[in-house]
């Protein structure tokens, strides 16, 4: 194990990529992810990796190039955020539909308008049903670890889907934290050599990518992607176990903190998991039986594990860093559907919070949880809104 270092989330992603030494990286800069590709381009320029780095004219072009490179048989990475991810939207479905297992770091940032460069989960949520595996990080360490884990899941022969590794903009991308890196040789061995499936450059076994797909087979091909997502849930747990062997850190598709004996359970994504752990500790000291969980994988959603975790609880409080206009917040919706398989469904409460980077501190979360525990919360709540 290497010595601890002080590093921000963006540089941690770049370090993970350096240790993997991918074949191709194509990207376009956008706050707050720019540091990732800037730092990685330094590694390229200094000859520390063998990656072909391409700075394209837009995010749409960046992902298009990545899809082409991955289709040709190259291990490929990219990064983006917010409206950059939105600009890629057309190609998100192309990447998953063509079954290219590239990986993309997403520095979560609010979508326009109004223009806002700070963190919420609007970009990932707008993309959650495009066929990408989506994994979230609580802190810088996890952002680094997820970047190493992602290719092992995406490239698995039973999966073959692209994967987003999400980290909260500024909160993790720019915050310097203590992190324990893994030795270069261990990362290289863990990730392994890329073994592409049906690459275009295999001239002895010619294939077609991106062909027209009519009504005769389109449904079946989409169904194959669904099966691949289901496979990804099991593959991810196996990869997490293997990753523990080189890192000492064990992850799960659904992370839980003090949930076993809890009467109430909070649910969140990303860096808020750490905030809610501290909140739970405070409330536990005051005699309240409460826990918190985070679906590390948003897609594929570990719905069976979620249902088991919320079974028998008095209340489930879901915190969404995104607002679905005219509908229910997306994580709340996912948790509600997961709980719907239970014979007795606990009461579910939605709290939308932190939009556009608005800070949500322990005291804010504490107030929300006490509202639910005290029976004073509505079903749909907007934490800290000034109107």
* Domain range annotation of the chain: 5-247, 254-382
Residue 85 CA to residue 166 CA, distance in Å, equals 12
Question: Tokens 């919706």 correspond to what residue?
Answer: 333
Residue 239 CA to residue 136 CA, distance in Å, equals 16
Helices (H), the chain: 9-20, 34-45, 59-72, 82-87, 89-97, 122-126, 140-154, 184-191, 218-247, 272-285, 303-310, 330-339, 362-373
Q: Is 80 exceeded by the pLDDT of residue 384?
A: yes
Pairing of β 254-257 and β 290-295 = antiparallel
Single pTM value for the model: 0.98
Give the pLDDT confidence of 325-350 residue by residue, as tens digits.
999 999 999 999 999 999 999 999 99
Give the pLDDT confidence of 98-117 residue by residue, as tens digits.
999 999 999 999 999 999 99
> Average pLDDT, stretch 241-260?
98
> Average pLDDT, stretch 357-372?
98
What CATH class is the domain 254-382? alpha beta
Q: What is the mean pLDDT of the chain?
A: 97
Structure tokens of 120?
A: 């919420």
Q: Are 43 and 18 in contact (CB under 8 A)?
A: yes
Q: Are 339 and 316 in contact (CB under 8 A)?
A: yes
Distance (Å) of CA 299 to CA 193, 195, 206, 213, 221? 25, 24, 32, 25, 18
Q: Is 70 exceeded by the pLDDT of residue 235?
A: yes
Q: Are 28 and 56 in contact (CB under 8 A)?
A: yes
Q: In b/e form, how buried is each residue of 76-102, taking b as 16+ CB within 10 angstroms?
A: bbbbbbbbbbbbbeebbebbbbbbbbb
Which one, of 327, 326, 375, 331, lies nearest residue 353 by Cα? 331
User: What's residue 91's pLDDT?
Assistant: 98
User: What sign for the dihedral angle of Cα 26, 32, 35, 38?
Assistant: positive
Q: Is 80 exceeded by the pLDDT of residue 59?
A: yes
Domains 5-247 and 254-382 share a fold: yes
Distance (Å) of CA 323 to CA 29, 332, 350, 381, 385? 26, 10, 10, 11, 12
Residue 144 CA to residue 38 CA, distance in Å, equals 16
pLDDT band at 2, cuts 50/70/90?
Answer: confident
Cβ atoms < 10 Å from Cβ of 181: 22
The domain 5-247 is placed in CATH, from the list 3.40.50.970, 3.40.50.2000, 3.40.1390.20, 3.30.830.10, at 3.40.50.970
Pairing of β 163-168 and β 133-136 = parallel
Q: Is 80 exceeded by the pLDDT of residue 302?
A: yes
Which one, of 255, 295, 265, 365, lies nearest residue 134 by Cα? 295
User: What's residue 37's pLDDT?
Assistant: 98
Q: Is 212 exposed, middle or buried (0-12, 13-18, 19+ CB in 10 A)?
A: exposed
Residue 82 CA to residue 70 CA, distance in Å, equals 23
DSSP state of 212: -
Residue 269 CA to residue 319 CA, distance in Å, equals 8
Sheet holding 52-55, edge to edge: 52-55, 24-27, 76-80, 103-108, 163-168, 133-136, 297-299
pLDDT band at 1, cuts 50/70/90?
Answer: low
């Amino acid at each position: 194990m290497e010595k601890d270092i002080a590093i921000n989330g963006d540089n941690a992603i770049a370090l993970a990529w350096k240790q993997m030494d991918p074949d191709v990286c194509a990207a376009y800069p956008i706050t707050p992810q720019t540091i990732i590709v800037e730092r990685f381009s330094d590694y390229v320029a200094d000859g520390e990796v063998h990656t072909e780095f391409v700075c394209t004219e837009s995010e749409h072009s960046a992902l298009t190039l990545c899809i082409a490179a991955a289709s040709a048989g190259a291990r490929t990475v990219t990064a983006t955020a917010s409206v950059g991810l939105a600009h890629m939207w057309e190609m998100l479905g192309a990447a998953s539909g063509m079954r290219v297992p590239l990986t993309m770091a997403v520095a979560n940032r609010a979508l326009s308008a109004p223009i806002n460069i700070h963190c919420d989960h609007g970009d990932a949520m707008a993309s959650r049903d495009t066929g990408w595996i989506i994994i979230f990080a609580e802190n810088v360490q996890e952002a680094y670890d997820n970047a190493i884990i992602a290719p092992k899941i995406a490239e698995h022969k039973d999966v073959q889907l692209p994967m987003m590794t999400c980290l909260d903009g500024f909160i993790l991308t720019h915050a310097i934290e203590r992190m324990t890196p893994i030795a270069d040789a261990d990362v290289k061995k863990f990730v392994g050599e890329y073994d592409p499936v049906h690459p275009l450059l295999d001239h002895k076994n010619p294939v077609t990518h991106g062909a027209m797909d009519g009504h005769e087979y389109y449904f079946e091909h989409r169904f194959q992607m669904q099966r691949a997502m289901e496979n990804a849930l099991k593959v991810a747990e196996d990869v997490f176990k293997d990753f523990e062997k080189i890192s000492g850190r064990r992850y799960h598709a659904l992370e839980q903190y003090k949930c076993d004996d809890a009467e109430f359970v909070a649910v969140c994504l990303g860096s808020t998991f750490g905030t809610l752990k501290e909140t739970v500790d405070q409330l536990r000291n005051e005699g309240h039986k409460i826990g918190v969980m985070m679906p590390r994988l948003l897609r594929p959603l570990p719905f069976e594990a979620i249902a088991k975790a919320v079974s028998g609880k008095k209340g489930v409080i879901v915190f969404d860093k995104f607002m679905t206009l005219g509908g229910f917040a997306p994580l709340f919706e996912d948790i509600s559907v997961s709980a719907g398989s239970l014979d007795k469904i606990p009461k579910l409460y939605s709290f939308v919070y932190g939009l556009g980077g608005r800070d949500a501190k322990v005291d804010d979360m504490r107030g929300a949880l006490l509202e639910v525990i005290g029976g004073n919360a509505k079903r749909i709540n907007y934490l800290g809104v000034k109107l």
